[in-house]
Amino acid sequence: MSRPLLHLRDIHLTFGGTPLLAGAEIAVAAGDRICLVGRNGSGKSTLLKIAAGLVEPESGEVFIHPGATVRYLPQEPDFSGFSSTLAYVEAGMAAGDDHYRARYLLESLGLSGDEDPARLSGGEARRAALARVLAPEPDILLLDEPTNHLDLPAIEWLEGELQRSKSAIVLISHDRRFLETLSRTTVWLDRGTTRRMDDGFGRFEAWRDAVLEEEERDQHKLERKIAMEMDWLRYGVTARRKRNVRRLGLLKDMRKEHREHRFAQGNVKMAAQEGESSAKVVIEARNIAKSFDEARIVRDFSTRIARGDRIGIVGPNGAGKTTLLSLLTGTLAPDSGSVKIGQNVAMVTLDQRRESLDPTATVADTLTGGRSDLVMIDGQPKHVIGYMKDFLFMPEQARTPVTALSGGERGRLMLARALAKPSNLLVLDEPTNDLDLETLDLLQELLAEYSGTLILISHDRDFLDRVVTSVIVSEPDGKWQEYAGGYSDMLLQGGRSVQARGKEQATERSRPAEPAAKTEAAAAAQAPARRRLSPAEQHALKTLPAEIDKLTAEIAMLQGAVNNPTLYAKDPGLFTRATTRLGAAQQELAAAEDRWLELEMIRAEAEG
């Protein structure tokens, strides 16, 4: 790595008696793309604040190269003292910076610059804060959850902007696809210390699991050695006193090491309580429509949701996703058309803003309803403290009011309460907000095993691809289109990204109406000729299936090798090479499959 612009070395910081950072380190060189990952509460945001100079560590070295410019995006920006969003963005720029860029970024993010900062929504506040840190084009960008409160158009725009940026970037995010797209280095903050992998987030999880498995083996070996030494101490034959004293000292050191070892935090134990089966048709909507004043939110939409379907609703903010969800679940009446909900439907909902949580209630009362200390799980009583532990709450948090919880803790509390209720229809509005990546993985596994029906709204493309069987996507003028598969499948079927749809809707709103005949004639005149495959593309279309089969076989072989529990112990180098090649082969397979589908679509269109 070249000489760092920013270097945090041996950083220590303690909150409430427990070390938060215990020797953490991070080095940032010009052009770096670093993702900082770790569990909620591990200290990621604190480490970023130390890098930004907002928090002073108890000990350690903070080096910033003289003249290097650093900009930090906080999770909760402070707009006090600014009359407009433009004034707020320009205040973060230096004298020599291009102030035109401030207005360009605001407009790209859907703001005019004249907004009153005191009246901004969460999404608008995040956009203004992004414009402020991006406008100066600093040497180092420190971004803490930049996609929070952003819709898919804004996330996709931000991805492109950061890919073009010359700034070094340190990024914290729970958006897996965002991390995979942007990162080239991964720094894992775990139990106060950091580990660095010179590769992107796409290979982090296999590497993390290997590290934890090795650590578990080392601790098991240490425990056995301690047991052997304790046995010697109690029953062994006395040898020279000097040797015995030395051996006793070594045993004492081993016991201290084992006692002070901070084991990895456990995972959330999620299980949805499933009710009786619903009718085969869960929801049937026929030609429903809904408008507010002059805005058409839903127009002539029909769908049938069967038992076991997993539906994702996607679109830009303001498109009406929550309105459509309310129409489908019967909490909002349509202006026209009908919605029929099948018999024996037991619905459990998770709202986006966590509004159904009473901020004055305690964690225990939220889970039990304040009636007792028991939660009913699968018809069996379970003590609330035990159920709290399943969702990584400490026993002492039982009497903590909801208002004192972090965003991630409130998200886990909502999930704990929702999943304790018997259901055969889960309705989730932005369930991934504020959840760490490990909890997201477990939520995905739970939903994959859930035998009921699922309807969710999400801006997380990876989550949609892993969970849903079809997506309903917003179109201009209140139209909604349903596609089979996840978000990526929608794109492969000819759908456009939500970013493109958002721009199209904005253009439609600003464009004066034209006569239908004129519009259709113009479209016909401007329609491009159907593209045909080039000879090279024809050859690729023929050879790609064999390449896909070859990669599939290689992945199966590598997966079998990696899953062998003895491989790492016998040959750590081979295990590392196998996991590295496995990740590369999986990416090559995905690229080959995407290319084959793209060429097959061009061929099909050319042949009419």
Per DSSP, the residues of 133-183 read HHTT--SEEEEESTTTT--HHHHHHHHHHHHH--SEEEEE-S-HHHHHHH-
Confidence bin at 39 (pLDDT 50/70/90): confident
Lowest mean pLDDT among 40-44, 242-246, 459-463, 563-567: 242-246
Indicate if the pLDDT at residue 558 is higher than 60.
Answer: yes
Cβ distance 55 to 74 under 8 Å? no
Mean pLDDT of 558-570: 76
What is the DSSP secondary structure assignment for residue 495, as one 8-state letter?
A: P
Confidence bin at 391 (pLDDT 50/70/90): confident
Taking the whole predicted model, whether its pTM rises above 0.75 is answered as no
Cβ distance 133 to 145 under 8 Å? no
DSSP string over 282-344: EEEEEEEEEEETTEEEEEEEEEEEETT-EEEEE--TTS-HHHHHHHHTTSS--SEEEEEEPTT
The predicted structure's pLDDT at residue 271: 54
Lowest mean pLDDT among 149-158, 277-286, 590-599: 590-599
The predicted structure's pLDDT at residue 500: 46
Virtual torsion, Cα 189, 198, 173, 163, nearest 10 deg: 160
Could you please state the CATH topology (level 3) that the domain comprising 535-606 is classified under: Helix Hairpins (1.10.287)
Cα–Cα distance, 290 to 425 (Å, whole number): 23
Q: What six digits make up the tokens of 69?
A: 């410019």
Confidence bin at 326 (pLDDT 50/70/90): very high
Could you state, in order of their start, the residue ranges of all structural domains in the chain? 6-206, 213-260, 281-508, 535-606
The model's pLDDT over 144-166, given as tens digits with 9 standing for 90+, comes to 999 988 888 889 999 999 999 99
Cα–Cα distance, 469 to 448 (Å, whole number): 11
Mean pLDDT of 376-382: 74
The predicted structure's pLDDT at residue 242: 46
Query: Considering only CA atoms, which of 170, 386, 167 is closest in space to residue 269?
Result: 386
The predicted structure's pLDDT at residue 349: 83
**How many beta carbons lie within 10 A of that of residue 541, not counting itself?**
17
Q: What six digits make up the tokens of 435?
A: 């959840």
Indicate if the pLDDT at residue 18 is higher than 50.
Answer: yes
Highest mean pLDDT among 8-12, 245-249, 381-385: 8-12
Indicate if the pLDDT at residue 412 is higher than 90.
Answer: no
Mean pLDDT of 411-431: 83
Cα–Cα distance, 583 to 561 (Å, whole number): 13
Cα–Cα distance, 265 to 391 (Å, whole number): 11
6-206 against 281-508: fold identical: yes
The predicted structure's pLDDT at residue 256: 65
Cα–Cα distance, 350 to 417 (Å, whole number): 9
The mean predicted confidence, pLDDT, of the chain is: 81
CATH class given for the domain over 281-508? alpha beta
Lowest mean pLDDT among 148-157, 189-198, 265-274, 297-306: 265-274
What's the CATH architecture for 6-206? Answer: 3-Layer(aba) Sandwich (3.40)
At a CB cut-off of 8 Å and minimum separation 6, what does 478 contact?
289, 291, 296, 297, 298, 299, 320
Residue the block writes with tokens 């005949």: 517
Cα–Cα distance, 439 to 419 (Å, whole number): 14
Percentage of the residues of the chain whose pLDDT score is greater than 70: 79
Pairing verdict, β 281-292 and 295-306: antiparallel
Indicate if the pLDDT at residue 434 is higher than 80.
Answer: no
Cβ distance 487 to 312 under 8 Å? yes
Q: What six digits make up the tokens of 321?
A: 């996703």
Question: What are the backbone angles phi and psi of residue 179, rounded to the nearest 5°?
Answer: -65, -45
Cα–Cα distance, 284 to 172 (Å, whole number): 41
Q: Answer with the residue of higher pLDDT: 537 or 429.
A: 429
At a CB cut-off of 8 Å and minimum separation 6, what does 139 contact?
5, 30, 65, 68, 69, 70, 167, 168
Q: Answer with the residue of higher pLDDT: 276 or 445.
A: 445
